[in-house]
Amino acid sequence: MSLRIAINGASGRMGKALIEAVNANDNTTLSAAIERPDSSLIGADAGELAGIGKLGVTLVGDIESVADQFDVLIDFSAPAATLRNLAVCEQHQKGIVIGTTGFDSQEKAELDAYQDKIPLCLAANYSTGVNVCLKLLEMAAKALGDDYDVEIYEAHHRHKVDAPSGTALRMGEVVAEALGRDLGKDAVYGREGQTGARDQNTIGFATVRGGDVVGDHTVMFMADGERVEITHKASSRQSFARGAVRAAQWIAAQPAGFYDMQDVLKLR
């Protein structure tokens, strides 16, 4: 039986990629598409918006109106909207795949409160390649240790609203955990002026925004005489969309709990 998937933020760049990925998968069906209630696109066909032809699924502005039409919601939107949709999913016992980034500490605590209620997958990046890189970063940090300085570079398109990217932050978290450090204390977000010598525990972040860059990330481990770099470059949002659809298929079969792509890909 085909898994019924709803997409929130369906008219955005990522939403359109998700529509295409769901439609291309033989085991999934787009059954609902959701946008902001004030969107001028309400009532439009989701497939036509995504450029793949009519699918017979029209955009709605209220998730409650389609709550009985999907098995799993994929939500790449904004923190406030995601939390509202999460409450609806809990009420109707639906699984959810969250690609939204930029949650503050209070919002993260709200997310945590749902882990015993419904199956929830949260990841900063759903690309299979990125998640393999996260595993490699853990291995590299443990092997290289404190003798190597760590710097993280990321670049995205001009429209991205948060910085550093959620993926870059997750990479920093993985490295910090492997080294026994606290990213909240050791992260440095950009440098300017007379900054003094580099502290050994620093994990630095450099952010670039411009053009139509889908997403570039490089973590550098630097020591005297050598440098190790782990890099991922995305050329299409389909890499993220396919991973999110894969996560939706996996999460549909899981009990209530808080999962991420490391769980989906069995990289734990």
C-beta of residue 243 within 8 angstroms of C-beta of residue 127: yes
Residue 266, phi then psi, degrees to nearest 5: 55, 45
Question: Which of 125, 206, 140, 217 has the alpha carbon at shortest distance from 179?
Answer: 140
Active-site hit among 16, 156, 217, 232: 156
Closest CA to 215 of 174, 171, 168: 168
Q: Catalytic residue at 157?
A: no
Examine the residue annotation and report whether 233 is marked as an active-site residue of this protein.
no
Q: For residues 110 and 222, give the distance between their C-alpha atoms in angstroms, rounded to a whole number.
A: 38
Output helix, strand, coil percentages for the chain, rounded to the nearest 5: 35, 25, 40
Both tokens assigned to 129: 């390649």
> How do 215-223 and 149-156 pair as beta strands?
antiparallel
Confirm if 110 and 83 have CB atoms less than 8 A apart: yes
The active-site residue, picked from 92, 117, 135, 160, is 160
DSSP state letters, 34-62: E--TT-TTTTSBHHHHHTS---S-BEES-
Catalytic residues: 156, 160
